[in-house]
Structure 1
Amino acid sequence: MAYPPWLDPYDAEPFAAFSTSHISSMIIIFALVILLFLYRHRLRFMSERSSRFMRIGLAGFMIGCEIVLQIWYVYGGIWSLRTSLPLELCSLSLLLSALLLLTRKKWLYSALLFSGIAGALMAIVTPNLGYAFAHFRFIQFFVAHAMIILALLYMTWVEQIRPGWRSVAGSMIFVNIAALVVYGIDVLLDANYMFLRHKPGTPSVLDMLGPYPVYILGEEVLALVLFSLLYLVLFVIPEWLKRISGKKVKQTQMHSKS
């Protein structure tokens, strides 16, 4: 069967890390995050109906990202229980983030916030990907991972859900429970979802964490560090800056009155 070049699962141009298309994709995702931050106030004051429509639309788009991937697997004749189930951390984060948009459950937000953003960021910087731009798989990969980050930041900046340090623990618990369940499926299917049985064939951050199974322990430490850093960047530092700004405003007002 002859496939269009942008859908061909067998004879496609291989992905090259930090190529022009890879760097461009990262820049576009970063720009979208900045735009979401800049327009957070305008989005926050939408009507409840518009807000609900926005969340349903985003959730539908995210679920659609996974559906079209599954359709491509079948179309290309490469669908397999061992490789095609949505059991990678980012696939789980994508679908559960869509559920979060629909339900606005705080416990789900706490479980996903740091694990979803950190996992998607690592995947974007070091993709386990075999297809270059403008192949369907390249576009689907970066769109899906960008949507995880944008959905979770939308719930943070627009819906204004605020986690505490317990959210770092919640994300750690979520990752470990997911890993335990997925490892059981890996053994059952002789698969390697979440790279729990060996490293991916492409270069990744796991290469710096030692051999199997040492790198799994390294992932635990790396996850805790990344989740803590995200908490500092997203919440601790902004709150600190807000307090400093508030003190300066009060001091200015006091001086102007005197």
Structure 2
Amino acid sequence: MQAYFQFHSKLDSFQLFSVAHLFTIGIILALCLLLFVIHNEVSKKQRILRFLLVFILFIADLLHHLWLIYENAWSIKKDLPLHLSDLAVFLAIVMLLTRNYKLFQFMYFAGIGSSIQAIITPDLGKFSFPHFQYFEFFILHGGVVLACLLIVVAFKFKPTHRSLWATILIVNLYAACVFFINKTIGSNYLYIIEKPGNASILNYLGPWPWYLLSMELVMILSFYILYSPYRGVSRRRR
């Protein structure tokens, strides 16, 4: 049992699209679809579901950092919540508590987009199933996606084309700030300085610094894919 909690794990390296990975993706997808299938019940019990998700996200993230500290592995260079998908966890908690529409519009694109990318191409190294970090990672990132979709189902919030481009602008301004943080403390948040060592989509986007431009285009494309269901609704209404 101890092997499943060690930071220097002796488990096999995480395998992209392994049976465990695909099964985990399937569970997250099923939960997302379930929100829409039982949308009436979700709307009636939205308060309970919101606070349940807040509790899960908060506890999971707290345990993650406590575990790193206990293992003497916490580092300012890699464990600050500066990756967009990590920052999205905190913003998801605020969004669930406040039901802020403007925050939702940002989270719909940046939160869901970054979390889906993390779920599909996770940077887990030796933390393969059934390591503690494996469960923690997917609970947090899957929880962000569920949080955004819960708000969609329960409150009928919708993203706009304007908020899509506002999110792109905010993400780029945030990336510029993170770049200077990286230079100051020698970190690689947002993978601006170099590519991650896993099977990330960044490994297919060219060398540094050109992959940063490719990453920008991928972000815009992914945001438009997320917006596409609402674009169709707007056209039918017109």
TM-score (ref. length: structure 2)? 0.93
For 1:40 and 1:237, locate their aligned partners in 2 and report how far apart those are by CA, in whole Å: 21
Task: Name 1:33's counterpart in structure 2.
Answer: 32
Residues 183-222 of structure 1: matches in 2 within 5 Å?
Answer: 183-222=179-218
2:74 is aligned with 1:79: yes
Deviation per CA, 1:53-79: give whole Å up to 9, x if none: 332221222122211110111111111
2:222 is aligned with 1:226: yes
Deviation per CA, 1:184-214: give whole Å up to 9, x if none: 2111110001101000011110011111111
For 1:203 and 1:23, locate their aligned partners in 2 and report how far apart those are by CA, in whole Å: 15
Deviation per CA, 1:139-195: give whole Å up to 9, x if none: 111111111110001111211112210121122123112212222211111000110
**Higher RCO (C-alpha 8 Å, min separation 6):** 2
In percent, how many aligned pairs have the same letter?
31
Shift of 1:238: 5.1
Task: Name 2:107's counterpart in structure 1.
Answer: 112
Further displaced range: 174-183 or 87-96: 174-183
Gap runs ≥5 in structure 1: 244-258
Residues 151-190 of structure 1: matches in 2 within 5 Å?
Answer: 151-190=147-186
Q: CA RMSD in A?
A: 1.6
Amino acid at match of 2:83: E
Larger radius of gyration: 1
Task: Name 2:41's counterpart in structure 1.
Answer: 42
2:92 is aligned with 1:94: no
Amino acid at match of 1:56: F
2:10 is aligned with 1:12: yes
Q: Secondary structure at the match of 1:121?
A: helix
For 1:143 and 1:201, locate their aligned partners in 2 and report how far apart those are by CA, in whole Å: 22
Shift of 1:23: 0.8
Shift of 1:117: 1.0
For 2:21 and 2:65, locate their aligned partners in 1 and report how far apart those are by CA, in whole Å: 23
For 2:54 and 2:233, locate their aligned partners in 1 and report how far apart those are by CA, in whole Å: 28
Amino acid at match of 1:36: L
Alignment coverage as a number of residue pairs? 235
TM-score (ref. length: structure 1)? 0.86
